[in-house]
Amino acid sequence: MKKYITGAAVALGLSTFPLAADASFSDVTMYGEEINYLTDLDIIKGYENGEFRPGNQVTRLQAVQMILRGLQAEPDDEGSAEFSDIDAGDYGYDEISEAVELGIISGKTDAETGEQYFDPYAPLTRSQMAKILTNAYGLEEEWNYFFTDISHDHWAKDYVDTLASHGISTGYEDRTFRPDQQIKRSHFALFMARMLDDRFVEGDVMEYVSYMPDPEDYVVEYEDYKSIYEFQGFQEDGSALWMITREPESDSPYPLTKFQAYKETSEGLFTKDASNKELFDRRDFWLDIPYPITEDEEFYYGHYNGTVHLLDSYEADGQIYKNVVRIYASGGPNGNEEVEGYYAPNEGYIDGKFGFIGGEPY
């Protein structure tokens, strides 16, 4: 379900470059080490007056040029890129042709005429940056993430998740990615440096990972039965719906088939039983995990008083899961019930226990 590869720097054999000293540009106050590193590699350049102009926007053509330098790829002087807004002999045409040949770019489509164009001097956006860096360096997605402004059907969803998986760009503190925000020279230098040398990668790549199950079919094995989860699609409210069938039949009081909905917001991961449409419309979602995930945070876990605990790993059904959230809750109608729920990234609920305080869980 998930694919793993080594970091781009190791894969490219570039992690042995020494880190540069403080940037020599007169106007650089942030990311100086990264900017100077790229300057030493002749990937990015400053201006004749000694400025870098970190706040200037990066154009789509400039991004292509810098990526090709990072790949040590020569411009294709025999290229045949077919875009309506740039011709052979124009400035940047050879670089654009090489990027097309390498599968880095595909251009834009005019909604009215259907023509392909590249828009070389338009500012590069964060979503476009995610696509071209992912394509250029052959990165593979490791995790799905939840950003409030990247819907499940956003065209750049997979590219954004891939960059976040490798720590190249992990979003903002408000859990947004801001896909349409234009890229500044300083930020593009930061992302390029992280792509080429993992010593520049900082932060926790799991900070904004999604705890909703991946939108696919899967099976959970238990001691006496198994639950078959069949993904039914995303609903109008943004929730993801599964049909759950238990095999074989047992003496359990629970129905053999039910529907379960998951939903993520900036406040957390929510679930609710979707088997009864009338009740589904009336009932609120149950908060399973509050976001941001914080050790010892207390919250209302359905009918119980819950507390968040973070586990480095947890074994369930013979499989080891990493970065697991354990919810311990107590309460209930008589105040003597206790519940444990275990949740893994991109898996959702993986295990749980129910019992009475002082008694054996079951």
Give the pLDDT score at 13.
34
Q: What string of pLDDT tens digits covers the 362 residues of the chain?
A: 322 223 333 333 333 333 333 447 889 999 999 999 999 999 998 888 989 999 999 999 999 999 999 999 988 788 788 999 999 999 999 999 999 999 999 999 999 999 999 999 999 999 999 999 999 999 999 999 999 999 999 999 999 999 999 999 999 999 999 999 999 999 999 999 999 999 999 888 999 999 999 999 988 777 777 889 999 999 888 899 999 998 876 566 566 788 899 999 999 999 988 887 665 565 678 899 999 999 999 999 877 899 999 999 999 988 999 999 999 999 877 778 899 999 999 999 999 888 776 655 54
**Which residue blocks in 151-223 are alpha helix, DSSP H?**
157-165, 185-196
**Which residue blocks in the chain are alpha helix, DSSP H?**
8-12, 32-40, 60-71, 93-101, 126-137, 157-165, 185-196, 277-282
Tokens at 5, concatenated: 């590869």
Other beta carbons within 10 angstroms of residue 176's beta carbon come to 15
**If we measure between CA atoms, which residue out of 134, 152, 151, 150 comes closest to residue 142?**
134
Burial of 345 from C-beta contacts in 10 A (0-12 / 13-18 / 19+)? buried
Residue pair 330/309 in contact (Cβ under 8 Å)? The answer is: no
Distances (CA, A) of 355 to 3, 335, 352: 37, 12, 10
Q: Is 134 helix (H, G, I), strand (E, B) or coil?
A: helix
**If we measure between CA atoms, which residue out of 186, 142, 185 comes closest to residue 160?**
142
Q: What whole-number distance in Å separates Cα of residue 137 and Cα of residue 71? A: 8
Give the pLDDT score at 112.
92
Give the pLDDT score at 250.
59
pTM of the full predicted structure?
Answer: 0.85
DSSP 8-state class, residue 154: -
Burial of 208 from C-beta contacts in 10 A (0-12 / 13-18 / 19+)? buried
DSSP conformation letters of 269-323: EEEEE-SSHHHHHHSPPEEEEESS--TT-EEEETTEEEEEEEEEEEEETTEEEEE
Give the pLDDT score at 226.
83
